[in-house]
């Protein structure tokens, strides 16, 4: 049996223990910070690219938690004007909050696909989901109630 002993001054021993405790605290804080960041940012948003088919559009909306009709209730081709006047400010701001940049698509023809939302949290019926696509890329979207006193908000589930 081998026994080793070491003589350490109290000051060095205290500093070593304090350094080890500080490292442990830092590791715990870092791990907690990463967990908190994951919780705050929520689930990853779906990629807006490669949305080619009707099923791709349905899957895109379902990634936000929406259950929608199997087929769009309307499909329209729209032209985004070269210059967006003040009447577009709120809509452009809504899209910007979701990470979409409509100003990048001014002067372009886009398609809007409208689906009926089947699972709006309040149970309200007639709610619609719109997706704006340029080629195979989602460039905007919203959830709305077409009622006179209706609402309009981003794609995220309220």
> DSSP string of 105-134?
GTT-EEEEEEEEBS--TT--SS-EEEEEEE
Q: What is the mean pLDDT of the chain?
A: 82
Q: What is the pLDDT of residues 64-74, one digit of tens each?
A: 999 999 999 99
Q: Mean per-residue pLDDT for 73-99?
A: 92
Helices (H) and strands (E) in the chain, counts: 3, 5
Res 157 pLDDT > 70: yes
> CA-CA-CA-CA torsion for 9, 12, 14, 15, nearest 10 degrees?
170
pLDDT at position 46 is 79
């Amino acid at each position: 049996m081998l026994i080793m002993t070491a003589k350490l001054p109290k000051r060095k021993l205290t500093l070593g223990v304090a350094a080890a405790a500080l490292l442990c605290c830092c590791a715990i804080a870092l791990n907690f910070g990463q967990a908190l960041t994951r919780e705050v940012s929520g689930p990853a948003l779906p990629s807006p690219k490669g949305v080619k088919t009707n099923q791709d559009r349905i899957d895109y909306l379902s990634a936000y938690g929406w259950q929608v009709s199997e087929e769009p209730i309307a499909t329209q081709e729209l032209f985004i004007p070269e210059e967006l006047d003040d009447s577009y400010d709120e809509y452009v701001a809504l899209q910007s909050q979701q990470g979409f940049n409509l100003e990048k698509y001014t002067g372009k023809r886009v398609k809007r696909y409208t689906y009926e939302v089947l699972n709006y949290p309040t149970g309200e019926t007639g709610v619609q989901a719109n997706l704006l696509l340029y080629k195979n890329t989602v460039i905007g979207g919203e959830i709305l109630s077409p009622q006179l006193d209706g609402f309009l908000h981003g794609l995220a589930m309220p």
